Each structure stands twice: as C-alpha cells, then as structure tokens.
Structure 1
Amino acid sequence: MESKNEESQSQEYLIFTLGKEEYGIDILKVQEIRGYDQVTRIANTPKFIKGVTNLRGVIVPIIDLRVKFVQENISYNDNTVVIVLNLAERIVGIVVDGVSDVLALTSEDIRAAPEFSVTLSTEYLTGLGAHGDRMLILVDIQKLLNSEEMALVDRLHAG
C-alpha cells in the first residue's frame, strides 16, 4: 500500500508563459533558467531554432517555443528567459515569455489532454493541470524536443 500512496503524491512542474497561456514542464528536466542572450545563428535551420550558445563549454541549441507555436508579435524583453533542459544526454534551451513559479500537482489536479489543441499537437501534451482558477497546459517536453526537428539539430552538431 505504501507505493500506492507515493504514486498519488504530487509532481512538481515549472510553470512558464507563452503569450497568454501557461504551460508546465517536469521540474526534474530543468537544469537552469537564464536570461535571454544573443545566440549564434546557424544557416538553413527552421525559424524556431534560434541558434546555439556556449554554456560553460557545452554547445546548446536554443529553440524559441513562441516561434514553434506560431505566436504573433514576438518580442525579446527583460522577462524573456531561456529554460535550459537536461533531456537524456541532450541539453537544450527553450525561449519562453517568462517563468512564473513551480507548482506541485497531484494526479487529481491533472485532466486528460483534449483531443485538439490550437497551438500544440496533443501528442506532446501530458494533460491539463488545474490549480485554483488557473488552467495549465502540461507538456511532455522530452517528447516535443525529441521530434524530427531535434534530429535536424543533432545533424547540425555532427556536421
């Protein structure tokens, strides 16, 4: 019975904003949060791959999720941050509009993902988190960043 109790315990999510929507990713995938700096652009990459940056000797691809999710009027300001993720032997930075907090959600707080989503394919969603009057879109960031676009980034690294 002990393990059943542990399963119903909460999982922590880093909450970030893209436009007017709030998203959550597993906090255990987050290595650090940094201010947005200019990156080195790589030719012939999709628009959402902003380029690469050198993070303490590691070349890290930087993906602008706002571009990937086709947001309008993207601006870079003091709130714009890069969330550096550590995903199974790959370090990737994602650009978001801002980070708000870390929330612990239990399985009771999470609803199944809807069959449709305007900004994001539902295959990348783990569900919708309800926290008070907030609705959080929970993203399987590893699945999203292991898509075919990331294979392109890997080829750029190799080349």
Structure 2
Amino acid sequence: MSEKDRLNEDLLEAQDQEDAQEGKYLTFALGREEYGIEIRHVTEIIGIQNVTDLPDMPNFIKGVINLRGKVIPVIDVRLRFAMAEREYDERTCIVVVNIRNAAVGLIVDSVSEVLDIPGDQIEPPPMVRKGQGSRYIEGLGHVGDTVKILLNISNLLHEEELEQISEAAVA
C-alpha cells in the first residue's frame, strides 16, 4: 500500500467519525516546514498530475486538472507563500480541499500524516507585521517537540481569485 493510499484511508476513517474530526489535521511539508489542514476540509490526496495551464492567472495558480471528469483548479502552495519554486517529484501530492464550497487542489511537497492536535496544544499565530503572512495561519500546533503551522484554508484564495479560477476552469 502506497503512502498516499494509507493517508487516504486514514482520512476516510477520520471523516467517517464526524465527531472525531475535531482537532484532526492532515499534515504536509513545504521545504523543511510542516503544515496542517483540518481534515474536514480535505476531500482526498492524489499524486501530481498533468496540469493544464490557464492564461492570465497569478503564478501560484498552476491551472486545472481533470479528476474523474470534474475540472479542479490547482494552486502551488509554495508559490502562494512566496517560497522558491521546486521541481515536482514522486513525493509531490495534490491535496484536494473544499474552499467555500469549491474543490481546489493544493500542490504540496509531500504529505505526512493525520494528527490529533487538541485545542489546548494550539496557540494563535504570532503577530509579525499586521496582516502580513499570518492571514494564512490559523494557529501553531504543538506536537511533541515540533510545531506545525495550521492553515486557515479559507484564506488561501481571496474571493475574487476563487471566482476567477472557477470561471476559467468552466470556460
């Protein structure tokens, strides 16, 4: 069983237990940093696929994929966070999430695991510069001696960007 298959199974198991979703996060890596997304937003994890470019889009919006007949816009989270672009490899994944009732694929370096992070182990994001960068961060989750950056999935795309890619995907 591949790592993606195992994570998809963990994801399905956690989603089946609706009440148990509270405090569960799918963790993934971008470079040396570990991030987390609440699993209630995650639909599935797939390997990197051919992405069809869309014209006149910001550089972090890579294009669209066809997932079982459904056209889904895809963004590269590294580029969204102004990190250096990286060549995709066999560990690169697309995490399909639901952002404001729209399916969106998030390209990440690799997926890690589904973790329980209780509320008392989460602290608010640091106030670095007013509104800068921290708009994507929901909190910092303490797991053992590590810190996971927990993302606010709704803020990854502005309303206008979501409309723009949704319209382009349909066209």
TM-score by length of 1: 0.86
2:71 maps to a residue whose letter is: I
1:114 is matched with which residue? Answer: 126
- The answer to whether residue 103 in structure 2 is matched with residue 91 in structure 1 is yes
Distance (Å, rounded) in 2 between the aligned partners of 1:49 and 1:69:
12
- What CA deviation, in whole Å up to 9, does each residue of 1:21-45 have, x standing for no partner? 1110001111110000111111111
User: Structure 2: which amino acid aligns with 1:91?
Assistant: A
Secondary structure at the counterpart of residue 127 of structure 2: coil
Q: Alpha-carbon deviation of 1:154?
A: 2.7
1:37-88 CA-to-partner distances (Å, cap 9, x unmatched) read: 1111111111111110111121100100111112225110011000011234
Is residue 56 from structure 1 mapped to residue 68 from structure 2 by the alignment? yes
RMSD: 2.0
2:50: which partner in 1?
Answer: 38
Which whole-Å CA distance do the structure 2 matches of 1:20 and 1:121 have between them?
A: 17
The structure-2 alpha-carbon separation of the partners of 1:73 and 1:142, relative to structure 1 and needing over 3 Å to count, comes to closer
Q: Which amino acid aligns with 2:116?
A: A
Q: Which residue of 2 aligns with 1:5?
A: none
Q: Partners in 1 of 2:128 and 2:47 — Cα distance? A: 32
Q: Supply the distance in 1 between the matched residues of 2:166 and 2:35 (Cα, whole angstroms).
A: 26
**Secondary structure class of the residue paired with 1:74:** coil
Q: What TM-score comes out, normalization by structure 2 length? A: 0.80
Find the counterpart in structure 2 of residue 3 from structure 1: none
Pairing 1:149–2:161 present: yes
* Aligned residue identity for 2:69: G
SS in 1 for 2:156: helix
- Structure 1 partner of 2:92: 80
Any conservation in 1 of the 2:73–2:166 contact (CA below 8 Å)? no
Letter of the structure 1 residue corresponding to residue 99 of structure 2: L
Task: Report 1:10-29 matches (<5 A).
Answer: 11-29=23-41
Detail structure 1 runs of 4+ shifted over 6 Å in the superposition: none
CA distance in 1 between counterparts of 2:87 and 2:128 reads 27
Q: CA contact under 8 A between 1:10 and 1:107: conserved in structure 2?
A: no
The gaps in structure 2 that reach 5 residues or longer are 1-20
How far the C-alpha of 1:107 sits from its partner, in A, is 1.1
Q: Which moved more, 1:120-129 or 1:147-156?
A: 147-156
Q: Do 2:78 and 2:85's aligned partners in 1 also have CA atoms closer than 8 Å? A: no
